[in-house]
């Protein structure tokens, strides 16, 4: 896959610098052309950017994700204490579109399978095109890979070629997907924690959320 990324990136070098990008991700390009990263939109109170390596692109999304998770845990604890639990509902389905990240297609599907095997209240289902609420893109960005959105199954994930040649790409995909499911970064935690991201360094290849992280996602999507 690294060879494929380098081939695509080389063929795109002359064009990528001239591409004018709007605040939204670029449209699909024909042939072996690798788009540059989407220009970062101005963060809102609801949405922001979370990076794979320490130094989140927008600390506000980190704070928002932490707050939402804390509130979900408090509500779950209150329901458990009072016996007023919500009725069990069918899992929420998040449709994802990976058509604009062809180099990472199989890894994105593996990441979805990993999450689907470990959580019960939300499921990731591929649906390319307009029906996919969560988008995946690939290209070049000095900031590395990141998620942009509100952590509610929306937004997009950008996969950076250079970073995926240094860090384990499946772990990157699964980590950024964790943000889409509502989890914050925890860079100082060990490799066994998926949301520690690039904190443990390139030698960490674990692509699996642990039981606590999976439980947190289920709490968020009750």
Catalytic positions, written as ranges: 176
Q: Kindly give the residue spans of alpha helices, DSSP state H, lying in the chain.
A: 2-16, 59-82, 105-118, 161-166, 169-180, 211-220
Per-residue tokens: 119? 């959580």
Q: Which residue has the tokens 């997907």?
A: 177
Q: How far apart are CA 157 and CA 67, in angstroms?
A: 21
Longest Cα pair distance anywhere in the chain, in angstroms? 63
Specify the pairing of strand 156-160 against strand 134-139. parallel
How far is C-alpha 50 from the geometric centre of its chain's CA atoms? 8
Question: Is the separation of the CB atoms in 21 and 39 below 8 Å?
Answer: yes
Question: Is the separation of the CB atoms in 219 and 72 below 8 Å?
Answer: yes
Q: Cα angle at 193 between 189 and 198, to 5 degrees?
A: 70
């Amino acid at each position: 896959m690294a060879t494929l990324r380098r081939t695509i990136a080389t063929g795109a070098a002359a064009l990528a610098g001239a591409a004018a990008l709007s605040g939204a991700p670029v449209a699909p390009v024909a042939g072996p052309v690798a788009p540059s990263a989407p220009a970062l939109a101005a963060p809102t109170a609801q949405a922001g950017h979370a990076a794979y390596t320490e130094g989140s692109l927008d600390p506000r999304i980190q704070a928002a994700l932490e707050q939402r998770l804390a509130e979900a845990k408090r509500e779950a604890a209150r329901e458990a204490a009072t016996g007023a639990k919500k009725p069990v509902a069918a899992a929420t389905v998040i449709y994802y579109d990976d058509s604009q990240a062809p180099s990472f297609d199989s890894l994105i599907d593996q990441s979805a399978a990993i999450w689907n095997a470990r959580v019960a209240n939300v499921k990731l289902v591929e649906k390319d095109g307009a029906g996919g609420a969560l988008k995946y893109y690939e290209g070049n960005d000095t900031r590395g890979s990141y998620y942009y959105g509100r952590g509610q199954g929306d937004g997009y994930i950008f996969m950076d070629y250079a970073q995926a040649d240094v860090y384990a790409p499946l772990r990157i995909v699964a980590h950024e997907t964790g943000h889409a499911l509502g989890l914050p970064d925890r860079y100082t935690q060990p490799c066994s924690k998926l949301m520690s991201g690039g904190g443990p360094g390139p030698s960490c290849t674990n692509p699996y959320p642990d039981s606590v992280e999976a439980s947190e996602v289920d709490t968020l999507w009750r």
